[in-house]
Amino acid sequence: MQDRLFKNPKISVVWDTALADVIGSENPLKVKGVILRNVKTNAMSERSADGVFIAIGHTPSSELVAGQIEMKSSGYIKTAPYSTATSVPGVFAAGDVTDDVYRQAVTAAGQGCMAALEAGHFLAAHAEHRAAAE
């Protein structure tokens, strides 16, 4: 990925730099640029830009359930094949925390729908069990 990045003449890498602010206009609502801070010198600089995408690394944000649910060594939550069921009954996982292949909004939304339906079925089955026991 780094090699592809460095070879792309349309991309310039700004090292040792953090985003300090986004500059824009309210009417029309539009990004116009960014304020950057060099983390080594604290020097501030400005760059014009038409948009800002925040994308940092490839580590899934699954720490919320770390140690409680079975995960892959890469940190993605494990789910049953063709299902959002996790190793904990009644807990379902969908989207970028579980998908190490596609990682797209549309696949995350589809998995979210699957998780909602599976959670509904799980609750309905438990309600039937409870009713039968009473």
Ligand X SMILES: Cc1cc2nc3c(=O)[nH]c(=O)nc-3n(C[C@H](O)[C@H](O)[C@H](O)COP(=O)(O)OP(=O)(O)OC[C@H]3O[C@@H](n4cnc5c(N)ncnc54)[C@H](O)[C@@H]3O)c2cc1C
Taking the complex as a whole, the smallest distance from the CB of residue 107 to ligand X amounts, in Å, to 7
Using the minimum distance from each CB to ligand X, give the nearer residue, 55 or 101.
55
Map tokens 């940092």 to a residue: 56
> Least Å distance between CB 93 and ligand X?
9
Specify the residue, 41 or 61, whose C-beta has the smaller distance to ligand X.
61
Start-to-end CA span in the chain (Å): 59
Q: Which residues bind ligand X (CB under 6 A)?
A: 53, 55, 61, 64, 95-96, 103-106, 108
Q: Measured between alpha carbons, how far is 60 from 41 in angstroms, rounded to an integer?
A: 31
Q: In the bound complex, what is the minimum distance in angstroms from residue 128's beta carbon to ligand X?
A: 31
* Alpha carbons 24 and 102: distance in angstroms, whole number: 32
